[in-house]
Homo-oligomer: A and B are copies of this chain.
């Protein structure tokens, strides 16, 4: 509840002070520890939104893009969308008895984590296709919300949407209060994210870029038009796909981009190559106690080449353990 109040408060302030930066009265980023990353974020917002500043950015150009998994919410021990897919295999097996003996479904049903860890891309795509298609976009959206209402994260025993990063929620709100338009640019499925991003992040569906399958328009026998999700990939929004997706969906180059893995490297490069003030940031998962610690060797959210480039080019690197006072909104403050 506190988070909501903060967001609305900042949004209201923006209306009153369109001409200059809105850096909250007390502290615009209260869940960030004082340090170079927090300072560079506050400086960037001030420089880009102060009229007359050399780095001023016109309002329509204030485009900020955020990866989702590992940047706005947790992505361990497996991507949350994959947890959704596994649960759907179990929920759907009554209608697909053949799955009991057919891989990769057999391993899913047996909770064979070792086998699942070595699924490979082909097995992964097969599970996503089987659980995400053959229904209308509206039915799928309902499945996502129903799952989020009941599923619990295996370690934190909380709804997955509780596992968003409070410091990033504050950063999104600060940017919007300063008339930045905030976008998600995620390798995750666009239709998996859109049903809840407005409520959780304040990011409306039309500002969510992600991977997608083909949908097909059909007129039902009674004349009702529907969009049916088909088992064909339309677009993979990862790696080089991220700047391609930004171009396709947004048509402008962002001035601020945040990611956390090698899948975000090209999006950061594309952002950095623009003219004028830029902010490139990476979240480094360094806190095994409060969240998770992983980077170069992780199968999920591998951070290796992008890290090296960030160090070399002096992009901001968030050290979760030292930069973030709290990780999740539910932590006591």
Q: Which residues of A contact B (CB under 8 A)?
A: 15, 60, 63, 137, 181, 190-191, 194, 198, 204-208, 212, 215-217, 219, 224-225, 227, 234-235, 240-241, 243-244, 247-252, 266, 269-270, 273
Contacts and interface: CB of A to CB of B under 8 A. Distances in A.
B244 A216 contact: yes
B244 A217 contact: yes
B225 A244 contact: no
Given A216-B240, A225-B243, A205 B270 contact: no
A251 B190 contact: yes
A219 B206 CA distance: 29
A15 B205 CA distance: 23
A116 B173 CA distance: 54
A270 B190 contact: no
A248 B190 CA distance: 8
Contacts of A137: 247
B215 A244 contact: yes
A243 B137 CA distance: 12
Contacts of A208: 251
Contact of A249 (B198, B206, B266): B206
A273 B270 CA distance: 40
Nearest to A243: B217
A217 B190 contact: no
B224 A247 contact: no
B243 A273 contact: no
Contacts of A60: 198, 204
B215 A227 contact: no
A269 B219 contact: yes
Contacts of A194: 251
Given A190-B248, A217-B266, 16 more contacts: A181-B206, A190-B251, A194-B251, A205-B251, A205-B252, A206-B207, A206-B250, A206-B252, A217-B240, A217-B243, A219-B269, A225-B243, A225-B270, A225-B273, A227-B243, A234-B235
Contact of A212 (B224, B243, B248): B248
Closest 6 CB pairs of A and B: A205-B251, A217-B240, A194-B251, A206-B250, A225-B269, A217-B243
Given A198-B60, A243-B227, A269-B225, A248 B206 contact: no
Contacts of A227: 243-244, 247, 270
A215 B266 contact: no
A26 B208 CA distance: 39
Contact of A273 (B224, B234, B251, B266): B224
A270 to B, nearest CB: 5
Name the residue in A191, A219, A234, A240 with the highest tally of chain B Cβ atoms < 10 Å from its Cβ.
A240
Contacts of A250: 205-206
Name the residue in A60, A191, A198, A244 with the highest tally of chain B Cβ atoms < 10 Å from its Cβ.
A244
B216 A234 contact: no
A215 B215 CA distance: 21
Given A225-B269, A225-B270, A273-B225, A247 B215 contact: yes
Contacts of A244: 215-217, 227
